[in-house]
Amino acid sequence: MQKLYGVIGYPVGHSMSPIMHNDAFERLNLEGYYHAFEIVPDKFQTAIEGLKALDIAGFNVTIPYKVKIMEHLDEIDPLAKEIGAVNTVVNEKGRFIGYNTDGEGYVTSLLSTLNKRDLTECTVLIIGAGGAARAIYFTLATYKQPPKQIDLCNRTPAKAEELIADNPAEIGSASLSIEEAEASLAKYDIIINTTSVGMHPSTDASPLRLDYLKKGALVSDIIYNPLETKLLKEAKSRGAMIHNGIGMFVMQGALAFEKWTNQRPYIEAMEEIILKKLEHKKEE
Ligand code: ATR
């Protein structure tokens, strides 16, 4: 029998996850169907009970439910608990188990761009201190071979300080103002933007000036619309390696797919389908 999967969110109509996962089921000859379920906030609990009653095999969770879903799960993976958000749920014999594949998806994609297995020689700067920063920071900090140092800079420094205080691993970390980060940029091998600054339609904005960018540095942006934000354009013009948000989106989905089916989807095909969809969106 065909198994049911999906994503829950509000709104979720523009989600690119259904085409990506449905294509992956087809390619692997798996009987699965992935649907975007838009759930209005006051029906959240009923909807989750409904998904359980329907015996959904697994689902993704997106904005605004990544934190709220946690009260409705039977078990939560330790890293997802530390991150404080769940983006993937697996139905194991009627029990809903929560995971977070956002951070791991990001780090896997980053390592693949860097063509590295570890980040032990790297000093990292994360811009932002929201949910995405938390997932990436904690995943990097608890990685088998973590970076030497992970600093954070945020418009509101108190939020970066809170993140550092919550960090589950013993890793050197400092909170900087945006100006301090700009002035000491030459220290960092990897710079990661986790804020929405530069995202469509505000494509003229950039979260950080790159005047003192280190030679050979990599600049990464979790934004994928546009594929090249102002930050990445500037980094490229300075000769830096760049990494956009497509890889994180695809890998968080691929890792979820693997948890549900025990099969690894074709990553390149997933990426291709998302790039095509984004291209199509631009034309709309
Ligand atoms: P997400 O879950 O996507 O990370 P979030 O939790 O709302 O979203 O966090 C958004 C991050 O982007 C925060 O670090 C926020 O900075 P503040 O903590 O100062 O609010 C940052 N951010 C959003 N808009 C910004 C802007 N215009 N300039 C600078 N930082 C911005």
CATH of the domain at 62: 3.40.50.10860
Regarding whether 235 and 209 lie in a shared domain, the answer is yes
| pLDDT of res. 49 | 98
Q: What is the mean pLDDT of residues 4-27?
A: 97
Q: What is the mean pLDDT of residues 139-145?
A: 94
| pLDDT of res. 168 | 87
Domain that holds residue 228: 103-243
Regarding whether 21 and 109 lie in a shared domain, the answer is no
* Domain of residue 122, CATH code: 3.40.50.720
Ligand 1 centre to CA of 260 (Å) is 31
Ligand 1 centre to CA of 230 (Å) is 17
* Ligand 1 proximal residues by C-beta, below 6 Å: 128-133, 154-156, 159, 194-197, 207
pLDDT digits 0-9 by tens, 70-117: 999 999 999 999 999 999 999 999 999 999 999 999 999 999 999 988
Mutate to test the pocket of ligand 1, among 67, 196, 222 (most ligand atoms within 8 A of CB): 196
The mean of the pLDDT values for the chain is 96
Ligand 1 centre to CA of 51 (Å) is 32
Question: Which one of 66, 81, 259, 276 is the catalytic residue?
Answer: 66
Mutate to test the pocket of ligand 1, among 65, 194, 195 (most ligand atoms within 8 A of CB): 195
**Total count of domains within the chain:** 2
Mutate to test the pocket of ligand 1, among 152, 155, 192, 199 (most ligand atoms within 8 A of CB): 155
Ligand 1 centre to CA of 120 (Å) is 28
**Whose structure tokens read 């570890």?**
118
Q: Supply the residue whose CA is at minimum distance from atom 31 of ligand 1.
A: 195
Regarding whether 58 and 10 lie in a shared domain, the answer is yes
Residues 6+ positions from 220 with CB-CB distance below 8 Å: 110, 113, 190, 191, 192, 193, 242, 243, 244
Regarding whether 225 and 165 lie in a shared domain, the answer is yes
Q: What is the CA radius of gyration of the chain?
A: 19
Regarding whether 232 and 116 lie in a shared domain, the answer is yes
Regarding whether 278 and 196 lie in a shared domain, the answer is no
User: Above 70 in pLDDT, residue 283?
Assistant: no
Q: Is-catalytic flag, 230?
A: no
Regarding whether 207 and 226 lie in a shared domain, the answer is yes
User: Above 90 in pLDDT, residue 192?
Assistant: yes
Regarding whether 150 and 165 lie in a shared domain, the answer is yes
* Interatomic CA distance for residues 239 and 104, integer angstroms: 27
User: Above 80 in pLDDT, residue 282?
Assistant: no
Can you state the angle between helices 267-283 and 246-261, rounded to 10 degrees? 130
Regarding whether 233 and 129 lie in a shared domain, the answer is yes
pLDDT digits 0-9 by tens, 31-40: 999 999 999 9
Regarding whether 208 and 142 lie in a shared domain, the answer is yes
Regarding whether 238 and 109 lie in a shared domain, the answer is yes
* Interatomic CA distance for residues 54 and 101, integer angstroms: 24
Q: Supply the residue whose CA is at minimum distance from atom 18 of ligand 1.
A: 156
| pLDDT of res. 284 | 61
**Whose structure tokens read 């990426």?**
271
Regarding whether 113 and 219 lie in a shared domain, the answer is yes
